[in-house]
Amino acid sequence: MSDVEQVLRSLLDTIATEHDYKDYKTKLKSFSTGGANFFSKLYRITLSVPGKDDLKLFAKSAIANKKLRTQSQFEIFETEMFFYSELLKQFQEMENQHNVPTEHRLTTAKFYGCDREHLKEIIVLEDLSSQGFDTHDRLKSFDWNYASKSVTELSKLHTLYLSPTTKNTLRSLMHCTRSYAKI
């Protein structure tokens, strides 16, 4: 088992404990998107215990090629980890505080956890493919329905992002994204 898979299994243990999945069974399957994830390895994971619904997870682990990672000069998954572990929590608190109806809230995959250790970065999210969602083929055009739903979700994100309540978080975000401005 690779170092990254050991880190992933350790993270899965933490997730299972947090969700009271004692003596769980793991089904872990890596998959490919045909080259769309050059810097990562993708996994579909199912955690199962008797008497509970299966926990369907999606994980991305960074490739551990030190030479390639040194040449790329950026921290992989940094923005995603910041969004899911810090910024999204503030957005959800704002939505709760202002009683935003469920249908008007920002829609995201559930965040289960991450590991930020260099060359072993992993992020674990809800597996939306288990609910029938699929990734749009990036080489094909999308229709009006897809575009309008995307713009609707982006408008929710921008509304939350530009809210005065997020000023402190924006300072953190600017620090987090400085490295991308240099690329």
Per-residue pLDDT tens for 128-147? 988 888 877 778 898 999 89
Q: Check pLDDT > 80 for residue 173.
A: no
CA distance 14 to 43: 17
Q: Indicate left, alpha or beta for 105 from its phi (over 0: left) and psi (-120 to 50: alpha).
A: beta
Q: Which amino acid is at 149?
A: K
| Res 138: pLDDT | 77
| Res 106: pLDDT | 94
Q: Check pLDDT > 60 for residue 174.
A: no
Q: What is the pLDDT of residues 87-106, one digit of tens each?
A: 898 899 989 998 999 999 99
Residues of the chain above pLDDT 70, percent = 81
| Res 15: pLDDT | 97
